[in-house]
Amino acid sequence: MRRIKDIGELGLIKRLSKNIKVDKSVICGIGDDAAVIELIKDKYLVVTSDMLIEGRHFLKTDKPNNIGHKALAASLSDIAAMGAVAKYAFISLGLPKNTTLSYIDKIYKGIIKLAGKFNVSICGGDTNASDKLTIDMTIIGVIDKKRLVLRSGAKEGDFILITGRLGGSLKSGHHLRFVPRLAESRYLVNNFKLNSMIDISDGLVADLGHIITRSNVGAVIYEELIPRNKDAKSLNDVLYSGEDFELLFTMPQKQAKKFIKASHPKGMNFFIMGQIIKKPKEILFVDKKHKVKSLKIKGFRHF
């Protein structure tokens, strides 16, 4: 009998998607950071759902306001990865029966504070009794049609950039407190032409892997150029551990030249780390000694 762990999360998603038929208003269904729906004349709806479960995405010992913050922030990061503006949140909570009201208040405090920062309206959801604390967060965003950025648009020659440093997120607690890169996303799509974008949740190599797989291209990245957090304990941590929630994006060389010359808003940092190459599904890694090796696309495994 075959089980989930035999095919992994990506295999599972592929398997589940194969019999699904969607309406022509669904521009992009399963397979990007968020679904893209055409309902309005000039804008798309962008919708994402993320389920966080105690013991997997956070621990019982984590602060409840951080848990709430993370639940919203992780979904907002998906909306940012499309270039969209987050608008509405729907929260389904599974709560152990003996949960104290003050604990739930704190979860909500974390959610409401972050929602306020980005003008996200909490519109609904569901509450249920469950064994372990479970939070499923659905966000609806909107985006001008011409500004939409998918995973699938990367082109040979594109520069590969990232909004921040990688590694050590779990150890440092960054994964519980990060500010989703909505402002950076806004700035980028309003001022530059991006060919592709994704947020780093599964790890740099895995998420770069998503971009090149869906774009049918390859990539070369340089160890010296990959911005590293001081909490990162190893190169492997930087490449594979994930939950950094930075935006990884690619832009054509001409745009990149304009981008490098631009003075970016205060507090925003962007790092070039490599380029898109023609050879499909190949990630080449150039180490500090200028040795080149091919990386296997892998990252955090949910199953």
Cβ nearer to its own copies, comparing 52 with 221: 52
Alpha-carbon distances, residue 282 vs 159, 221, 238, 298 (angstroms): 16, 11, 19, 12
CB 112 within 8 A of CB 69: no
Q: Which of 63, 106, 117, 130 binds its own copies (CB under 8 A)?
A: 130
- The piece of 107-115, 154-162, 230-238, 249-257 that touches its own copies (CB under 8 A) is 107-115
Asked if 163 interacts with its own copies (CB under 8 A), we say no
- The piece of 130-138, 148-156, 258-266, 277-285 that touches its own copies (CB under 8 A) is 130-138
Nearest CA to 179 out of 225, 129, 247, 230 is that of: 247
Distance of closest approach, residue 290 Cβ to its own copies, in angstroms = 40
Q: How many residues bind its own copies (CB under 8 A)?
A: 76
Q: Which of 63, 106, 117, 125 binds its own copies (CB under 8 A)?
A: 125
Phi and psi angles of residue 200, each rounded to the nearest 5 degrees, phi first: -85, 95
Interface pattern 284-303 for its own copies (x via CB under 8 A):
------------------xx
Q: Which of 14, 59, 60, 126 binds its own copies (CB under 8 A)?
A: 126
Cβ nearer to its own copies, comparing 135 with 276: 135
Q: Of all helices (H) and strands (E), which one includes residue 215?
A: helix 204-215
Q: Which of 14, 59, 60, 116 binds its own copies (CB under 8 A)?
A: 116
Asked if 152 interacts with its own copies (CB under 8 A), we say no
Contacts of 155 (CB under 8 A, 6+ apart): 195, 215, 217, 250, 252, 276
Window 64-103: residues binding its own copies (CB under 8 A): 87-88, 90-95, 97-102
Alpha-carbon distances, residue 197 vs 81, 147, 200, 215, 222 (angstroms): 6, 12, 10, 11, 19
Nearest CA to 93 out of 75, 71, 116, 78 is that of: 71
CB 137 within 8 A of CB 122: no
Asked if 278 interacts with its own copies (CB under 8 A), we say no
Characterize the bridge pairing of strands 35-38 and 43-53.
antiparallel
Cβ nearer to its own copies, comparing 78 with 244: 78
Nearest CA to 117 out of 63, 168, 36, 177 is that of: 177
Phi and psi angles of residue 47, each rounded to the nearest 5 degrees, phi first: -130, 135
Nearest CA to 206 out of 283, 277, 275, 272 is that of: 283
Interface pattern 28-67 for its own copies (x via CB under 8 A):
-xx---xx-x-xx----x-xxxxxxx--xx----------
Cβ nearer to its own copies, comparing 22 with 292: 22
